[in-house]
C-alpha cells in the first residue's frame, strides 16, 4: 500500500468514527468496492426516533420486477397519520434495484421514492444526468427538508468498477434545489463513498453538505453489515441493507432490522 492509499484508508477510518459520533445521520447511501477488488458494494440504512420512523424494515423482494430491497411499514396498525407528515402510513419504496443493460448489470440505491424514477429513466436511456434531473427535489417535509440521495453502480464494459452519486438538497437561505452529481470513474478496493441525509441533531435537522465521504469496506457481506450497524446510534437505528455485486454471477444482500415484523 502506497502513501496515498494509506492516507485514503486513514481518512475512511476517521469518517467511520465520525459516523459513530453522529447522533442522527438520517438515511444514507454508500457505494464502493470491497477490499478484494472483486465486488461492488452498496449500503443503505434508515434511522428513526418517533413511532412512525421506527416502524419500518428493509425487505428483500420489494415491489415490481426490479425491486430487490424495499423499505416498508413493519406493523401498519401502529402507524399514525398525524405523527410525521413526511413519513405517512403505508409508504413503501424500493431503495435498491437492479437490471441488465446490454449485458451490464446496473444497480441503483437511494433513500426514497426517487429511486424508482432514477431507475426507470436510467434503465431506459442510460443517461444519469436526465435521470437525476427528473427525480424531483428534496423532500418537502413539515420541518426537515430531507435531501434525496441516489447512486448508480456498475462494472463498465472494460471491467472497471464505476459509480455515480447524486445529492439533491435545499440551498441555504433559499428555496432552490441544489443538484450535485459525483462521477466515480474508478472505485478503489476497500473504500466506499458515503452520503447521509443529516449531519446530526437539531430543529430543523442540519442537512448533509460537501462531497461524499470515504468509509472503509473490509471483509465479507456480514462483516461490512456489522461494521456499519455497530456504527449507527443504538437508540435510533432501524434498518440496514448491504448489497454485494460481483463482476460475474448473481448479486446478494444482507439485511438487519431492529424492529422486524412479527
Could you give the strand order of the β-sheet that contains 104-110, starting from the edge strand earlier in sequence? 56-60, 67-73, 93-101, 104-110, 148-155, 161-170, 177-184
**What average pLDDT does the chain have?**
81
Could you give the strand order of the β-sheet that contains 39-47, starting from the edge strand earlier in sequence? 213-216, 191-196, 28-33, 39-47, 237-246, 252-257
Q: What is the mean pLDDT of residues 55-60?
A: 72
Residue 151 pLDDT more than 80? yes
The pLDDT score that the predictor gives to residue 10 is 94
The pLDDT score that the predictor gives to residue 84 is 46
Q: What is the mean pLDDT of residues 3-9?
A: 81
Residues 59-118: tens digit of each pLDDT:
776 555 555 777 776 665 566 654 444 444 334 456 788 877 776 778 889 887 778 777
Q: What is the mean pLDDT of residues 118-128?
A: 76
Distances, alpha carbon 230 to alpha carbons 112, 134, 254, in Å:
23, 35, 15
The pLDDT score that the predictor gives to residue 82 is 45
The pLDDT score that the predictor gives to residue 52 is 67
The third-level CATH classification (topology) of the domain covering 3-257 is 3.60.20
Task: For residue 223, name the pLDDT band (cuts at 50, 70, 90).
Answer: very high
The pLDDT score that the predictor gives to residue 95 is 72
Q: What is the mean pLDDT of residues 43-47?
A: 91
What residue segments make up the domains of the chain, in order of their start? 3-257
Residue 135 pLDDT more than 90? no
Amino acid at each position: 500500500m502506497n502513501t496515498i492509499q494509506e492516507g485514503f484508508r486513514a481518512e475512511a477510518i476517521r469518517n467511520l468514527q465520525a459516523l459513530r459520533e453522529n447522533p442522527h445521520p438520517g438515511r444514507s447511501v454508500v457505494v464502493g468496492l470491497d477490499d478484494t477488488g472483486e465486488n461492488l458494494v452498496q449500503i443503505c440504512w434508515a434511522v428513526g426516533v418517533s413511532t412512525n420512523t421506527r416502524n419500518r424494515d428493509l425487505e428483500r423482494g420489494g415491489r415490481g420486477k426490479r425491486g430487490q430491497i424495499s423499505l416498508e411499514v413493519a406493523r401498519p396498525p401502529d402507524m399514525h397519520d398525524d405523527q410525521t407528515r413526511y413519513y405517512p402510513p403505508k409508504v413503501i419504496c424500493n431503495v435498491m434495484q437492479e437490471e441488465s443493460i446490454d449485458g451490464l448489470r446496473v444497480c441503483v440505491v437511494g433513500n426514497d421514492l426517487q429511486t424508482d424514477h432514477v431507475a426507470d429513466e436510467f434503465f431506459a436511456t442510460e443517461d444519469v444526468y436526465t435521470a437525476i434531473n427528473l427525480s424531483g427535489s428534496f423532500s418537502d417535509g413539515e420541518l426537515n427538508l430531507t435531501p434525496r440521495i441516489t447512486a448508480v453502480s456498475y462494472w463498465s464494459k472494460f471491467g472497471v468498477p464505476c459509480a455515480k452519486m447524486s445529492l439533491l438538497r435545499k440551498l441555504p437561505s433559499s428555496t432552490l434545489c441544489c443538484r450535485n452529481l459525483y462521477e466515480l470513474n474508478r472505485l478503489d478496493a476497500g473504500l466506499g463513498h458515503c452520503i447521509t441525509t443529516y449531519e446530526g441533531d437539531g430543529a430543523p435537522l442540519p442537512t448533509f453538505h460537501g462531497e461524499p465521504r470515504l468509509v472503509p469496506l473490509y471483509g465479507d457481506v456480514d462483516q461490512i453489515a456489522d461494521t456499519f450497524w455497530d456504527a449507527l446510534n443504538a437508540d435510533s437505528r432501524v434498518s440496514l441493507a448491504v448489497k454485494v455485486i460481483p463482476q460475474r454471477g448473481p448479486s446478494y444482500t444482507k439485511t438487519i432490522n431492529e424492529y422486524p415484523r412479527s
